[in-house]
Structure 1
Amino acid sequence: MRRFLLAAVMFGAASGARAADLPDYFPALRGSEGLSTATRNWDGWYAGGQVGYETSSVDFSQSVVGLTNFIFRNSVLQQPTSQWSLLNKANMQGTGFGAFGGRNWQWDDLVFGFEANYNYMNRLASSSSSSIGPLGIVNPAGSMPPPNHTYTYNTTLTGKAALQIKDVLTLRGRAGWAAGNFLPYVFGGLAVGRMDVSRSVTSNVVLRDDQTVTTTINGTTTTFNLNPVFSPQPQVSLTSSQERTNNFVVGWTGGLGTEYMVWDGLFLRGEWEYIKFVSVMNTSVSMNSLHVGLGYKF
């Protein structure tokens, strides 16, 4: 009996030792630690630098409307000429460089944060010039020609506009998903651009007065046109221009990107960004950018 009890105790001790070693052979028995993928710690402050490639779309079609409205103010030509699209759309492209810095907060695999991002543009500029007319504006509202008269305002416009984006600052909110060494993210926020903007227009207006005369002789009625009378209109044949240097223009930004933790706190970044600015001097501006950067999380 004693030998049986001694053998049972020794067998139980050996079985306990083997059970203690099982987690080393089967990590799943240790719980979730063996099933999860190691995730980097993205929590904290970070900063870095970047280079970029930018393209911008500029719509100059209404750029001179503010000037023509001023030239033709209090005249019958203001409303019809405000509908003319004198200039064209233009695309520009260039390179740039900048810096970024921000703060992340991490809850498990979710990462939220804010960031300030600055980019300097290398000659991201474009311009447009064109002429239209003479176009005849016949009896515009408010002209009130005498009976049997037709007023035709033969109007010619010649204009040009130019815009250069110098640099852009964006303030973003970010949301990302930590997956191993990767952090894909989306962002959105406020943008402020510094731009040089100029525009000018020259108008030339000649009034044509056509008169119709009707006569009755011996019961026969005859209608005929007199020779038209041409009258230059110097009061609305003017040149107007406007220029703003280092003009700050607000807008909004949105985009997506990903970061890759290379070593310790050092990470690489690649992202796409879209910026839409409010209209400046009747000119619509938007940007698309691709950035590649290198940063460090403290």
Structure 2
Amino acid sequence: MRRLVVAMMVAGAAQAAQAADLPDFSALRGPVGISRGVVNWQGFYAGGQAGYGSADMNFANSNSSMIAALLANTNIESEMNVSSWPLLGGKTNTHQSQVGGFVGYNSQWDDIVLGVEANYMHGTFSGASVSTPVSRGMTLTSDSQYHIVTVNSSKSISISDMGTIRARAGYVWGNFMPYVFGGAALGRGNIYSAVSVSDQKGADSAAAQAATPVTLSASDGISGKMLYGYTAGIGTEAMLFGNVFARAEWEYIRFVNAGADVNINTVRGGLGYKF
């Protein structure tokens, strides 16, 4: 036993002496998974931003379902297809400045960065469309009456707050990190719709023109409706000093339940801090 203890002590001393002779490379090692000379983007970050955006709103036929419900089980809907008439055609475009903030987390492997981010912007995008009265007349075979039908339609949308939850992937290039992102979008909007349909009928066209119109109307207004959709875009960040960085990006958002086709493009810049 004594010989075994002595042998172990001699082996330990030899290994310690050998290790003392090796050069110390610890100064060359950075954070785990990040090579020396590459900016460290890993960790939580937060910041503020401002931007300028453009919203395209296409209201074409956006009130069709309201007209169909208003004229359900009527001859003029079943035989004249009033709800399918081209109303509220064309696009409206609005521009707006925005302010907001962001918070997220990055994971980094050498020069590849993957992360998740919550992003918020405030600024009102508003659009509206009002159709000119559309009138049509025909003989309805089911009641042998001439009908002159006139339709009016209007719709407005106002979106004041937008937020996104997005995943992103970046590549570290010196002090810069260009990235792409995509995810889900949420918004808060006010949506108002109104339609009216007037029907004049008679035994012949002259009688129909002289008849007193029967008018049906409907309207719907929702304040603070939760909108949802998706987002995608590109950007770049630059480490300035310490853990302070600047960013510039372009973001595309489409809302799919706004009652019209809503597409928003925004360019923005911001400053952030990596903790």
User: Shorter-chain-normalised TM-score: which range?
Assistant: 0.7 to 0.9
1:1-298 alignment, distance < 5 Å: 38-79=37-78, 80-88=81-89, 89-121=91-123, 123-139=124-140, 144-145=142-143, 149=144, 151-210=145-204, 228-230=206-208, 231-232=211-212, 234=214, 237-281=215-259, 283-298=260-275
What do the CA deviations read for 1:22-52 (whole angstroms, capped 9, x no partner)? xxxxxxxx9xxxxx99321000000000001
Question: How far off is 1:199 after superposition?
Answer: 1.0
Map Cα deviations across residues 251-286 of structure 1 (whole Å, 9 max, x no partner): 0000000000001110000000001111323x1211
Uncovered stretches (5+) of structure 1, i.e. residues with no partner? 1-29, 31-35, 211-226
- Give the superposition deviation at 1:228: 4.8
**Matched AA of 1:43:** Q
Separation in 2, partners of 1:112, 1:200:
47
> In structure 1, what is the Cα distance between the partners aligned to 2:95 and 2:138?
39
Distance in structure 1 (CA, Å) of the matches to 2:146 and 2:246: 66
Seq. identity, %? 36
Q: Which runs of 5+ in 2 are unaligned?
A: 1-27, 29-34
2: CA distance between counterparts of 1:138 and 1:52?
Answer: 56
| Partner SS, residue 221 of structure 2 | strand
CA deviation profile, 1:64-105 (whole Å, cap 9, x unmatched): 212211221111233511212211321111011000000000
| RMSD between superposed Cα atoms in Å | 1.9
| C-alpha distance in 2 between matches for 1:253 and 1:232 | 51
Amino acid in the other structure paired with 1:67: M
Amino acid of the structure 2 residue aligned with 1:144: S
Contact 2:194 2:218 (8 Å CA) reproduced: yes
Cα distance between partner residues in 1 of 2:83 and 2:52 = 36
Question: Which residue of 2 is the match for residue 222 of structure 1?
Answer: none
2:6 counterpart residue number: none
Deviation at 1:137, TM superposition (A): 4.2
Q: How far does the alpha carbon of each residue in 1:118-177 deviate from its partner, in whole angstroms, 9 at most, with x for none?
A: 0011x32111112232212443xxx524xxx4x432111122211111111100000010
Paired letter, 2:176: F
Question: How many residues matched?
Answer: 237
Q: 1:154, 1:206 within 8 Å by CA — same for their partners in 2?
A: yes
User: 1:101 touches 1:116 (CA, 8 Å); kept in 2?
Assistant: yes
Where 2:132 maps in the other structure, the secondary structure is: strand
CA shift in 2, pair 1:83/1:55, >3 Å = same
Say if 2:38 and 2:172, in contact at 8 Å, map to a contact too. Answer: yes
Query: Cα–Cα, structure 1 residues 233 and 184, in superposed 2: closer, same or farther, change >3 Å?
Result: same
Structure-1 separation of matches of 2:237 and 2:46: 13
Tell whether the 8 Å contact from 1:131 to 1:158 is kept in structure 2 after alignment. yes
In the alignment, the residues of structure 2 paired with residue 41 and residue 276 of structure 1 have an alpha-carbon distance, to the nearest angstrom, of 33
Question: Could you tell me how far 1:233 is from its partner in structure 2?
Answer: 5.7
CA distance in 2, matches of 1:258, 1:192: 23
- CA distance in 2 between partners of 1:76 and 1:135 (Å): 14
- In our comparison, the structure showing a higher alpha carbon Rg is 1
Q: 1: CA distance between counterparts of 2:87 and 2:129?
A: 10
- Aligned residue identity for 1:93: H
Work out whether residues 86 and 132 of structure 1, in 8 Å CA contact, stay in contact via their aligned partners in 2. no
TM-score by structure 2 length? 0.81
CA separation in 2, counterparts of 1:110 and 1:96? 30
CA contact (8 A) 2:229 2:257 kept: no
CA distance in 1, matches of 2:97, 2:213: 47
